[in-house]
Chain A
Amino acid sequence: GESVGLHLPTLSVQEGDNSIINCAYSNSASDYFIWYKQESGKGPQFIIDIRSNMDKRQGQRVTVLLNKTVKHLSLQIAATQPGDSAVYFCAAPPMEYGNKLVFGAGTILRVKS
């Protein structure tokens, strides 16, 4: 069945270091893969998306890598800051379900000062 899952439930990094958050997906038919960030007490916030015909996309301090061969997605955060502490979700819209996002369980990122 459709699932989007994460390898590491919790990631602790030192402030200033780079963070890498990983995600595995099972549905190869998704056109997009999306990352959301959820801070404590807030709703998820869209970070960045990548189309299935790309293998890399860069944003502001973030880079998304997509490896369709092994169905793996990663979010890299450069120079991690305390404000990056949050739960990060990867999400994918299964094509057979139309415009519907399926979220993974999330990875907790803790930034140590």
Chain B
Amino acid sequence: EAGVVQSPRYKIIEKKQPVAFWCNPISGHNTLYWYRQNLGQGPELLIRYENEEAVDDSQLPKDRFSAERLKGVDSTLKIQPAELGDSAVYLCASSLVRFYEQYFGPGTRLTVT
């Protein structure tokens, strides 16, 4: 069974530029999460989807971050414009039955210069 797929794996952009990350969850997993992980810290939830509905986006900086999960499968996380402080690893995860048993992708390491 394929795991959670994310692309790109690495991205380097200049500040004020836009960037987008893509995630394909495990087949059949209705719940999808986007996390941000800063160096030396644990992941922090940005947004959670149940199918195509964003049910928790309280930690998403909505002035510059947006996300979508069309058709309840793949998801895209966008930052526009990027700031230096956005440099981090962006992780996508999905879960099926037990919300605390999440399957993570390898992440996208974003560097903003």
Contact = CB atoms under 8 A, between A and B. Distances in A.
A98 interface: yes
Contacts of A45: 104
A46 B102 contact: yes
Interface residues of A, number: 21
Interface stretch (A53-61, A62-70, A75-83, A102-110): A102-110
Interface in B59-110: 91, 93, 98-107
A105 B41 contact: yes
How many B residues are at the interface, by size bracket?
20 to 34
Interface of A: 4, 32, 34, 41-46, 49, 89, 91, 93, 98-101, 103-106
A93 B100 contact: yes
B93 to A, nearest CB: 7
